């Protein structure tokens, strides 16, 4: 039976890649100074640099999740066309998007009892989520069934390693993930946290490093310790308007490992609004998170 893979825009894959992979998607919205705008997947006028410049000016940006009605609309388009659905969504530990999709799917099963709707909590964020979408789409292109792809995701989602570092502690403080006193002291001492997404899909601090370069090197060191079969992997790096740092990290990896490819893209507004300009994240399949 034909099926469509669906992802929310926080997967951070480019529009071109999503279209090439045949993945259906829905954009997210943001509210900046009271004005609602779409993120890059739906608005040609959206500028990542402009977005991060507004963050640098400490403008308050509120991101929103997809609601039940929006999921119902998107899913109904696919189901009415005679296809089943495999939806891979941003971690429930970060967003309520997954729960909204589940409610929409439950409602639509009554309307389309002959269709299969599989909604998966990726327990992943940013291009970590995107890598699972990428692997799922590649398996679909190879002729794998919807159940085979879903089984792969369930078996491997907790092997998808996320490693982040941030450059400005202000944004973690503003999002409530860091106390004001710790942020002030950390800024003075140039402390850069290394964070990861845990098995519950939540963003948590893992270590503290002194200085930006050391924090980036810490991402690489963790990769060396934890990666599995790098020669057969596509890795991903996302950045908060710090492309030079992303390329520095990618080049360090390429010098020691003959990886299949490294996807580099901006961090989307969902992550960017909470982590701030200078966020840098590395994603790969490893032994464990």
Dihedral (CA of 203, 128, 231, 242) sign: negative
Q: What is the pLDDT of residue 189?
A: 40
- Judge contact between 203 and 197, C-beta under 8 A: yes
Q: What is the DSSP letter of 259?
A: -
User: 115: how many CB neighbours lie within 10 A of its CB?
Assistant: 19
> Encoding tokens for residue 68?
């039940």
Task: Quote the CA–CA distance of 165 and 250 in Å, as a whole number.
Answer: 15
Q: Can you list the pairs that 253-257 forms with residues at least 24 positions away whose Cβ atoms lie under 8 Å?
A: 253/220, 253/223, 256/224, 257/227, 257/230, 257/231
- Judge contact between 94 and 201, C-beta under 8 A: yes
Q: What is the pLDDT of residue 256?
A: 96
Domain with CATH 3.40.50.10170 in the chain: 3-157
Q: What is the pLDDT of residue 268?
A: 83
Can you state the angle between helices 212-226 and 243-256, rounded to 10 degrees? 40
- Judge contact between 163 and 196, C-beta under 8 A: yes
Domain with CATH 3.30.1180.10 in the chain: 159-285
To the question of domain 3-157 being in CATH 3.20.19.10, the answer is no
Dihedral (CA of 194, 197, 198, 202) sign: positive
Q: What is the pLDDT of residue 40?
A: 61
Strand, helix or coil for residue 3:
strand
Q: What is the pLDDT of residue 31?
A: 79
Helix H or strand E segment including 80: helix 68-80
Task: Quote the CA–CA distance of 80 and 114 in Å, as a whole number.
Answer: 11
User: Residue 159: which of 86, 248, 233, 244 has the closest Cα?
Assistant: 233
Q: What is the mean pLDDT of each run of 10 residues along the chain (289 residues)?
A: 92 91 88 72 74 88 86 97 97 92 97 97 95 97 98 96 85 54 42 85 82 94 95 96 97 96 90 87 93
For the chain, what is the largest distance between any 2 Cα atoms, rounded to a whole number of angstroms? Answer: 60
Q: Which fold has domain 159-285?
A: Hypothetical Protein Tm841; Chain: A;domain 3 (3.30.1180)
Q: What is the pLDDT of residue 119?
A: 98
- Judge contact between 28 and 8, C-beta under 8 A: yes
Angstrom CA distances, 187 to 166, 180, 181, 205, stand at 11, 11, 10, 16
Q: What are phi and psi of 27, to 5 degrees?
A: -70, 160
Dihedral (CA of 50, 92, 166, 173) sign: positive
User: How does pLDDT run across 134-190, given as a tens digit for each residue?
Assistant: 999 999 999 999 999 999 999 999 999 999 998 877 666 555 544 443 333 344 346
């Amino acid at each position: 039976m034909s099926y469509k893979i669906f992802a929310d825009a926080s997967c951070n894959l480019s529009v071109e890649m999503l279209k090439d992979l045949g993945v259906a998607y829905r954009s997210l919205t943001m509210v900046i100074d009271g004005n609602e705008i779409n993120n890059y997947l739906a608005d040609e006028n959206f500028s990542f640099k402009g977005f991060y410049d507004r963050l640098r000016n400490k403008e308050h940006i509120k991101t929103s999740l997809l609601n039940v009605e929006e999921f119902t609309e998107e899913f109904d388009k696919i189901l009415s066309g005679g296809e089943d659905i495999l939806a891979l969504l941003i971690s429930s530990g970060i967003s309520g998007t997954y729960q909204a999709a589940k409610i929409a799917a439950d409602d639509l099963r009554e309307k389309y009892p002959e269709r299969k709707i599989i909604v998966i909590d990726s327990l992943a964020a940013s291009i970590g989520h995107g890598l699972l979408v990428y692997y799922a789409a590649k398996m679909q292109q190879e002729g794998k069934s919807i159940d085979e792809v879903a089984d792969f995701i369930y078996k491997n989602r907790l092997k998808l390693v996320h490693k982040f570092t941030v450059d400005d502690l202000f944004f973690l403080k503003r999002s409530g993930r860091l106390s004001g006193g710790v942020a002030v002291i950390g800024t003075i001492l140039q402390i850069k946290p290394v964070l990861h997404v845990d098995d519950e899909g939540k963003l948590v601090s893992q270590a503290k490093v002194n200085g930006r370069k050391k924090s980036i090197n810490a991402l690489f060191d963790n990769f060396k310790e934890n990666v599995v079969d790098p020669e057969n992997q596509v890795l991903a790096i996302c950045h908060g308007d710090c492309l030079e740092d992303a390329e520095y990290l990618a080049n360090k990896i390429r010098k020691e490992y003959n990886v299949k490819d490294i996807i580099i893209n901006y961090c989307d507004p969902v992550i960017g609004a909470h982590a701030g300009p200078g966020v840098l994240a590395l994603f790969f399949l490893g032994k464990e998170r």
